[in-house]
Amino acid sequence: MPLYNYRCRACDLEEERLAGIDNQKVICTECGEVMDRQISDDEALSYYFINPESQATHNFSTQA
């Protein structure tokens, strides 16, 4: 399983966690609230500019 960065919605704690695709909710160890997965710059760039499937499903037209 890959490591992902998470940030707590309530207390802003940041942690690195092992998580699978099916992990729906990650709970903060400090306050017990739900944590959100943080998307790194590398992940964002690879999804929009390197992954050919993502370009096929998005309209990147610059026409007004």
The residue extents of the domains of the chain are: 3-54
- Segment 23-62, tens digit of pLDDT: 678 999 999 999 998 887 776 666 666 655 555 555 555 5
Q: Is 10 helix (H, G, I), strand (E, B) or coil?
A: coil
Q: Looking at residue 64, what is its pLDDT?
A: 47
* Model confidence, pTM: 0.60
Detail the DSSP E strand segments found in 1-64: 3-8, 14-18, 26-27, 34-38
Q: How confident is the model at residue 4 (pLDDT cuts 50, 70, 90)?
A: confident
pLDDT at 63 over 60: no
